Chain A
Amino acid sequence: MTVPFTRYLKTTALLSVAAVGLTACGGGSTPAATDTPAGSTQSPAAPAEKVEISYMHRLPDGKDMTKVADIVDRWNKENPNIQVTTTKFDGAASEMITRLDTDIAANNGPCLAQLGYGEVPEMFVKGLVMDVTAEAAKYQDQFGGAFGQMSVGGVTVGLPQDSGPLVYMYNEAEFKKLGLEVPTTSAEYADVAKKAAASGKYATVFLPDEAHYWLSGQAAGAGAVWYSAADDKWKVDTSDAGTASVASFWQGVLDDKSALVVKRWSEQWDKALAEGTIIGYTAAAWETGFALDSLDGTPFEGQWRVAQMPKFNDSDKTGPDGGSGVAVMKGCEHPAEAMQFNAWFNTQVDDLASQGLVPAATAVAKMPEKMERQFGGQDVMAELKIANERMSAEWSYIPGFSSVGPKMVEAASAAGAGSGKVADIFTVAKEASIASLKDAGLPVAEG
């Protein structure tokens, strides 16, 4: 007798909650579907009640940088109704994705999270990001070409934060001393490397640990498009002329020992840079924010400059090495407000530049004082803006690129050690890409 009664009570309780929910949503959707954008886009831009947004990032927050927390504090003061809390994730990118995966499955995920462009398709396939196409469109004109990197198959999931076009960084004083010209083509690049190596210096460095984004970015700059769609299937092709030109350049400089082979993130690298052995290398744009920190106070301070990537395969483009955006995560209760903050945060270009980023927003960032000193007063931001405009627009990543990367790094390590060929890196990339797509249950065109 009591059982049906309590059940009756529970049912009425649920029904009344549902009714309240329905009215709150304006009858547009069921209360269970709070994660669909349809219901949420109807909520007003400045809600009467306080909305809380959580944001997980992995910006460096280092010395002399405008801290993320300080930027957000400013927002919180100006927007009492949209309060943002931030969490800094200190692990590797892959670990952050695993964390987001489990948190979102447990309905405990953040509203906004920083994702690398290469990770966006993967997060989309995993169903961890939200479709905010309509919201994002409102802010599109504030962002440059990287806006497209936050879209997957016609669905926009967030806004871009920074981009990492490949550039060439070099020590101008050393170049003058050795009578070297800044290379503008791959042939000149090889020539400069050879001359520098003859004097015991390196004007190019092969970075096996960065092979995945670094070499695929160079291929993109040379005009390669590894991943494309054909008949609604993935087509993977790494045997184009652009990729081949990248392979032959690196094989050449490795064979005649004019490239230094060293891990980018290692003690060996720091030592070689501090001793002045490295006088030039192909770098991601975001490296300008901190790469020269260890040269502060040494005779090398202020000697380095940024130039455009030398042309490969006669292509007047450069490619992406990293760069990230802020996406709205599945389960976010207030996507409209989250996107409002997202657009604001990613257009705080001066603050973002102080974090060492090359902001994706169209507004040009003021040069941080530190950068001005380290690059001898060169207008680095203007140079990087040119690189941003030269970025290959056709290039995109597949879902599951993160499992392709380690295989490329392994092959690059073998190529660097002389036990393999540079071309193998790209063969491996193709095989691993196809395996990864098939494993995820996505269609692949053979051939």
Chain B
Amino acid sequence: MSTATAQTSKPRRRWSRQARHEAVSGWAFSLPFFLCFILVFIAPIVSAVRASLFKQQAAGGGLYGNAGGEGGKVDVFVGLENYVVAGTDPEFWKGVGRVMLFGIVQIPIMIGLALALALLLDSFLVRRKTVWRLGYFLPYAIPGLIAAIIWGYLYIPEVSPFADFFPNMEGNPFFLAPSIALWSMANMTTWTYTGYNMLIFLAALQAIPRDLYEAARIDGASGWKITTRIKIPMVSSAALLAVLLSIVGTIQLFNEPTILKKLTTWMPNTYTPMLMAYQTSTGLLTPSGTGPASAISILMALIAGVLAVAYFFAQRKVNQ
């Protein structure tokens, strides 16, 4: 029976064996990826979601929760309580507000600068492009925390070459004053990421076929016209990517406030939501523990997701 069917469908069987072979090797090749993906991406998310539903409580009764025995904290299932606590905490929303304000001001400035630099490098005005490209990109290659420390020093009058010229404000050095600090951070972020975003624009610019410019020149277009009518419209999808990445990066604002916090005393542990999540997990904020910290992180992930999707649709509508 089996031999008969095998004989009748011989060509198909050979094809299917090859297909199966391909499928097997395909899966074999992608298996490491999927394993790593599950291990470093899916598993932490699952574990964070699980952790966010629990709260750490003292195990026993009494002053130290030991009730005659040794101390110890137990995980108590609390459902969505951690989300409710974080979501109704005005400090959390103040942090979200700061991050939003930061993003609304900093992202357009940075993207504008990056586009301008990319256009300059792509034009025929600049020589030794590689040097400039590398130069602008270099800040991104410096680890974020190191960059934040360097900027921190530049902001303290005692060691800074320029901060001395600015007056003290609200009892703090100018750049570290409560009303200025957010923009001191924005400056650090802009310095670090402008070169990175410039590379995205530059790649998009170089993908534009050169004969378009030639045709435009023959039609009598000036360099300015070529830039505004051809180059900028053609990199709009790159802009979409750069802005989306920036929105996600802004939500994660952590290094800069962490460093500036060490230089000031007024900055609360809830200054940005990510700082709040970290301090919650290390027990420097109440409520503390992995449960509330995970809930804050997941809430921020949701907010970032909503913002990114909203921006995506808004951008598509504008382009249509």
Interface residues, chain A, with chain B CB atoms under 8 Å away: 94-95, 97-98, 121-122, 124-127, 129-131, 152-153, 155, 208-209, 229, 232-234, 261, 263, 266-268, 270-271, 330, 399-400, 402-403, 405-406, 409-410, 412-414, 416-419, 432, 435-436, 439-443
Contact = CB atoms under 8 A, between A and B. Distances in A.
Given A127-B70, A417-B266, A97 B170 contact: no
Interface stretch (B39-47, B61-69, B221-229): B61-69
A413 B264 CA distance: 9
B90 interface: no
B282 A94 contact: yes
A124 B69 CA distance: 11
A406 B269 contact: yes
Interface string B206-240: 00000000000000000000000000000000000
B265 A440 contact: no
B71 A126 contact: yes
A365 to B, nearest CB: 32
Contact of A439 (B62, B268, B286): B286
Most buried by B among A126, A152, A208, A410: A126
Contacts of B172: 417
A266 B173 CA distance: 12
Contact of A266 (B58, B76, B263, B266): B263
A208 B71 contact: no
B284 A94 contact: yes
A443 B63 contact: yes
Main secondary structure on chain B at its contact with chain A?
Answer: loop
Contacts of A442: 58, 63-65
Given A263-B265, A413-B264, A402 B64 contact: no
A386 B61 CA distance: 39
A440 B170 CA distance: 36
Contact of B158 (A121, A152, A271): A271
Most buried by B among A402, A403, A405, A442: A403
B113 interface: no
Contact of A155 (B56, B57, B70, B281): B70
23 contacts: A122-B283, A124-B71, A126-B72, A130-B70, A153-B63, A153-B64, A155-B66, A232-B63, A233-B63, A267-B158, A270-B158, A406-B269, A406-B279, A406-B285, A410-B265, A410-B268, A413-B265, A416-B265, A417-B171, A435-B286, A436-B286, A439-B287, A440-B57
Nearest to B64: A153
B159 interface: yes
Nearest to A435: B286
A329 to B, nearest CB: 12
B248 interface: no
B78 to A, nearest CB: 11
Most buried by B among A122, A412, A439: A439
A443 B266 CA distance: 31
The 6 closest A-B pairs by CB, nearest first: A127-B72, A417-B171, A441-B57, A413-B265, A267-B158, A413-B266
A168 to B, nearest CB: 23
A97 B282 contact: yes
Given A153-B64, A271-B158, A406-B268, A95 B282 contact: yes
B156 interface: yes
Contacts of B264: 413
Interface residues of B, number: 37
Given A94-B282, A126-B73, A436-B286, 4 more contacts: A98-B283, A122-B283, A126-B56, A232-B61
Contacts of A125: 58, 64-66, 71-73
Interface in B265-297: 265-269, 279, 281-288
Nearest to B263: A266
Contacts of B62: 153, 232, 443
B237 to A, nearest CB: 42
Contact of B63 (A97, A229, A435, A439): A229
B171 A261 contact: yes
A130 B72 CA distance: 10
A440 to B, nearest CB: 5
Most buried by A among B264, B266, B283: B283
Contact of A152 (B64, B170, B171, B285): B64
Most buried by B among A130, A229, A232, A402: A402
Nearest to A420: B266
B200 interface: no
B38 to A, nearest CB: 20
A121 B64 contact: yes
Contact of A418 (B57, B70, B171, B285): B171
Nearest to B171: A417
B59 interface: yes
A115 B99 CA distance: 35
B275 to A, nearest CB: 11
Contacts of A129: 71
A330 B69 CA distance: 14
A412 B71 contact: no
Nearest to B172: A417
B161 to A, nearest CB: 14
B196 to A, nearest CB: 29
Contacts of B267: 410
Contacts of A266: 156, 263
Nearest to A409: B265
A94 B283 contact: yes
Interface in B180-211: none
B284 A441 contact: no
